[in-house]
């Protein structure tokens, strides 16, 4: 399964591609619903690969219940963390950033959280996202915690790229669908403001609702029946909801196909055109990198998993993709 694809350095003209891209970083949120699928491993390595290619990167650990991104990057005791922002000890997001040992890569850690208040309130979350958008970086990668709490889904929906990481296990696949479903319905609730429509969406979030709404297509019919204009807005919102998929811990060619299967289900039951961004094969070197507290792409850049992680990072940074032109997982 090994195929070496170099991650090209940033061309000098890249910053001039688009004034919007030049003025703010691209926000990438990585979730998946289930713990233990390797979200932190994937985030740390994608961030390191992008930084090694010359992109200024900031990674954010939004998993305040179990923050360990700092450990994956070998940062022992961050001076200030996202927990300080939640506790309102610090309002300037820029002052939460710590250096790492990797050039071009900086970190907003999530250590020392308040167990009674794990995430900022909605208004403060909005200000946090505004602060992240002002950071001097090309990419800001956010490591979401397990589950699909409203705060995590908000980060996912606010991102330019929302990535779901899953493994070839039934529990992971089930939780990935649950996360996507939660994100889908929250997007509809945020976009469609008519009270009657919002009431139907709230009912649809209960999978045993009495209206018999089982799929987003069922919900779309209900919304259109209430208000054709809202139905058109529903269709437009679906078109803008385009999550990406990464399958981690792949061992066989059959498991590679999981991403295509999930993508097909998203299209069939959600009407959503998800992107299969890539897969990462199982590699014993990955565990050694975790024990060494260094990203795999730094510790053993020639290992199989490193090559696939670098390929995904290359796709994230591809100028064509940044302008809305999707790339295929087999490219």
3-state secondary structure of 29: strand
- Rounded Cα gap, residues 196 and 111, in angstroms: 42
pLDDT at 270: 82
Q: Token match 């399964």: residue?
A: 1
Q: For residue 322, what pLDDT band results from cuts at 50, 70 and 90?
A: low
Q: Token pair of 77, please?
A: 């005791």
- Please give the pLDDT value at position 56: 97
43-61 average pLDDT score:
97
Strand pairing report for 26-31 and 161-166:
parallel
Q: Which stretches does DSSP call E strand in 169-289? A: 244-250, 275-281
Q: Is the pLDDT of residue 303 over 80?
A: yes
pLDDT score for 193: 87
- 14-174+243-322 topology per CATH: Rossmann fold (3.40.50)
Quote the pLDDT of residue 148: 82
Mean pLDDT of 95-122: 83
Q: Are 159 and 247 in contact (CB under 8 A)?
A: no
pLDDT band for 323, please (50, 70, 90 cuts): low
SS3 assignment, position 44: helix
Q: How long, in residues, is the chain?
A: 331
Q: What is the pLDDT of residue 260?
A: 96
Question: What average pLDDT does this structure show over 309-315?
Answer: 96
pLDDT in tens, 289-301: 999 999 999 999 9
pLDDT tens across 148-207, in order? 888 889 999 999 999 999 999 999 999 999 899 889 988 988 888 889 999 998 888 887
The pLDDT assigned to 15 comes to 39
Residue 59 has pLDDT above 90, yes or no: yes
Residue whose structure tokens are 């009495």: 210
Helix (H, G, I), strand (E, B) or coil at 119: coil
Residue 19: the pLDDT is 41
Q: Write the CB contacts of 307 (distance below 8 Å, at least 6 apart in sequence).
A: 2, 3, 4, 5
pLDDT reported for residue 145: 80
- Residue 116, pLDDT > 90, answer no
Lowest mean pLDDT among 75-84, 169-178, 222-231, 318-327: 318-327
The whole-number pLDDT of residue 13 equals 35
* Cβ neighbours for 70, distance < 8 A, ≥ 6 positions apart: 61, 76, 78, 98, 107, 109, 110, 111
């Amino acid at each position: 399964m090994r195929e070496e694809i170099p991650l090209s350095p940033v061309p000098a003209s890249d910053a001039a591609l688009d004034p919007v891209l030049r003025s703010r970083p691209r926000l990438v949120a990585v979730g998946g619903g289930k713990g233990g699928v390797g979200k932190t491993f994937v985030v740390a390595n994608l961030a390191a690969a992008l930084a090694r290619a010359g992109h200024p990167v900031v990674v954010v650990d939004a998993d305040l219940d179990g923050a360990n991104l700092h450990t994956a990057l070998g940062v022992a005791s961050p001076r200030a963390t996202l927990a300080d922002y939640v506790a309102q000890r610090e309002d300037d997001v820029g002052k939460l950033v710590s250096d790492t040992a990797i050039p071009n890569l900086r970190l907003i850690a999530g250590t020392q959280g308040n167990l009674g208040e794990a995430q900022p309130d909605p208004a403060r979350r909005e200000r946090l996202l505004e602060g992240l958008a002002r950071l001097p970086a090309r990419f800001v990668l956010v490591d979401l915690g397990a589950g699909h709490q409203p705060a995590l889904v908000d980060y996912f929906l606010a991102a330019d790229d929302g990535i779901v990481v899953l493994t070839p296990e039934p529990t992971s696949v089930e939780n990935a669908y649950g996360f996507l479903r939660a994100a889908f319905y929250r997007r509809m609730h945020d976009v469609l403001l008519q009270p009657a429509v919002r009431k139907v969406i709230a009912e649809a979030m209960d999978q045993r609702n009495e209206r018999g709404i089982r799929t987003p297509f069922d919900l779309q019919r209900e919304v259109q029946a209430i208000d054709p204009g809202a139905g058109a807005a529903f269709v437009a919102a679906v078109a803008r909801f385009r999550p990406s998929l990464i399958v981690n811990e792949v061992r066989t060619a059959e498991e590679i196909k999981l991403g295509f299967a999930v993508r097909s289900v998203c299209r069939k039951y959600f009407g959503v055109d998800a992107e299969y961004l890539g897969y990462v094969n199982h590699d014993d070197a990955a565990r050694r990198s975790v024990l060494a507290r260094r990203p795999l792409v730094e510790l053993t850049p020639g290992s199989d998993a490193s090559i696939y992680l670098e390929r995904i990072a290359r796709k994230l940074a591809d100028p064509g993709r940044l302008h809305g032109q999707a790339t295929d997982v087999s490219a």
